[in-house]
Amino acid sequence: MPLIMESTPTIAAKDPAQYPLLRNLQFSPIKEGEEQYIVLWDPTGLSKERLVLPLNYFFIVQHLDGEHSVQDIGAIYLKRFGEFLMPNKVEQLLTDLDTKLFLEGPRTEQAKQQALAAYRQAPSRLPQFAGRSYEADAAKLRAQINGFFTSKEGPEVKASEHAGKPIKALVAPTFELKHAGPLYAWAYKELQEAQQPDLYVLIGTAYSGLEQLVAMTDKDFETPLGLVKVERAVTDRLREQIPSAFTDELAHHNEHALEFQLPFLQESLGKNRPFTIVPILTSFSADSLRDPQVREQVETFLQILKDALAATGKSYCVVVGAELAHIGMRYGDSAPPTDFSFHRCMQIDLEMLKHVENRDPEEFAQFIQKENDQRRISGFSPIYSLLRLIQAETGQVLRYDRGITDQYNSTVTYASMAFF
């Protein structure tokens, strides 16, 4: 999970040399013997490096927020650990972070501009996780996907009660396919048996964070199963009317939330079935919708998107890649989850998802607002967007599960859903 959870990262108004600002990195606790460490990495893929830190150094890193000077951090460190922080150690750490592109500054900004230029010049968005998270060979990938449908954790063999009806939307996980593949299959079985449209609006969580509230791209997506084309009639209209929606286009380069959906989509529709997509990443919280300016921006984007989709004259299905709660030390809790805390989390998740089943976006938002997002619902913005974009008669949770993400049983929950 990000160290910085806001949709819009903090902007350092002070000299970054004196007030260092850490980028929106992810971290996870690891254990080696009796020692505990924290590993940091860049979810955007701009940096390929990882950095393993002892806990006292992670304490320093957590204060690299652009508001604390190096001297401030030294004073806080002394108060916390009862020992002086040697300036040369801080300088060495900052140099290492900057070299790895973990700090905001000129070096990182130059790397971002080079990466953006390369992304925009590429003929298509290449798969980033083929060969790592799923099979890179087409035949093996088809076998892998089909294996998720037939596994004992996969969907029931009997036909869906909605078979033959026009499908309006799906919610699927974004968790690693080798663990959550059968959960994806529960959602995509509904698509296989439904009346299928030719246009799919893919909305995923931007796990690396965004400067804007949404990020679009008009790149076609390459997968081991072939090229998936973007619906230019929609993306061109959005680029013309809301150019800021493409400001964070580079976020698509290394984001898995949409990429993990594509092989399931391709295999479910069949290799000879043409279809197009509208790829969107979102990064606004339920709490941020209390801000009239944020709400207006979200409303404007979704309305223009709806108008653009209607103008195509095509029916469409919204496909969301999203996870639910994040509990445990990796996500900021002071202790690992217990069986009791997980089951309590599951009860709250299913209560929350009742509002999604009822197609009520505002009740869904208010539910998370009331609990102050204590369980860190990362899939809020794509699911909220789905509910605002569709008109459906029914919504249903098909399957619910969780994944373990570290040695301390930090847990992510997710569900598959379908709307008709």
Portion of the chain with pLDDT greater than 90, in percent: 84
Report how far apart, in Å, the C-alpha atoms of 143 and of each of 2, 257, 348 are.
Answer: 34, 21, 36
Residue whose C-alpha is closest to residue 252's, from 214, 288, 286, 285? 214
pLDDT number for residue 149: 97
Residue 209 region by backbone torsions, left for phi larger than 0, else alpha for psi between -120 and 50, else beta:
left
Residue 8 has pLDDT above 60, yes or no: no
Cβ neighbors of 277 (< 8 A, separation 6 or more) are 199, 200, 201, 202, 221, 228, 229, 230, 231, 265
Tokens representing 231 are 């619906």
User: How many residues are recorded in the chain?
Assistant: 420
Report how far apart, in Å, the C-alpha atoms of 163 and of each of 160, 401, 409 are.
Answer: 5, 24, 38
Grade residue 1 by pLDDT with cuts at 50, 70 and 90: very low
137-158: pLDDT as tens digits: 999 999 999 999 999 999 988 9
Q: Tell me if 260 sits within 8 A of 184, measured CB to CB.
A: yes
Average pLDDT, the chain: 93
d(Cα 168, Cα 222) in Å, to the nearest integer? 25
156: burial class by Cβ within 10 Å (0-12, 13-18, 19+)? exposed
pLDDT number for residue 13: 59
Grade residue 15 by pLDDT with cuts at 50, 70 and 90: confident
Residue whose C-alpha is closest to residue 103's, from 18, 185, 30, 37? 18
d(Cα 82, Cα 121) in Å, to the nearest integer? 53
pLDDT number for residue 10: 43
Q: CA torsion sign, 396 to 400 to 405 to 410? A: positive
Q: How many CB atoms sit inside 10 A of residue 3's CB?
A: 17
pLDDT number for residue 88: 85
Residue 169 has pLDDT above 90, yes or no: yes
d(Cα 260, Cα 178) in Å, to the nearest integer? 11
d(Cα 21, Cα 69) in Å, to the nearest integer? 10
231-283: pLDDT as tens digits: 999 999 999 999 999 999 999 999 999 999 999 999 999 988 899 999 999 99
pLDDT number for residue 5: 32
Q: How many CB atoms sit inside 10 A of residue 76's CB?
A: 16
Q: Tell me if 316 sits within 8 A of 309, measured CB to CB.
A: yes
d(Cα 290, Cα 320) in Å, to the nearest integer? 23
pLDDT number for residue 290: 97
Residue 298 has pLDDT above 80, yes or no: yes
The domains of the chain, with CATH numbers, are 26-113 (no CATH), 126-419 (3.40.830.10)
| Bridge partner residues of 354 (DSSP) | none
pLDDT number for residue 70: 86
d(Cα 411, Cα 322) in Å, to the nearest integer? 15
Determine the average pLDDT of the residues in 339-354.
97
Residue 11 has pLDDT above 60, yes or no: no
Determine the average pLDDT of the residues in 34-55.
91
Tokens representing 24 are 């929106």
For 47-60, the DSSP string reads: ---EEEEEHHHHHH
Residue whose C-alpha is closest to residue 401's, from 416, 380, 419, 417? 416
d(Cα 393, Cα 395) in Å, to the nearest integer? 7
Grade residue 2 by pLDDT with cuts at 50, 70 and 90: very low
pLDDT number for residue 28: 86
| Bridge partner residues of 412 (DSSP) | 326, 403
pLDDT number for residue 271: 81
d(Cα 219, Cα 276) in Å, to the nearest integer? 11
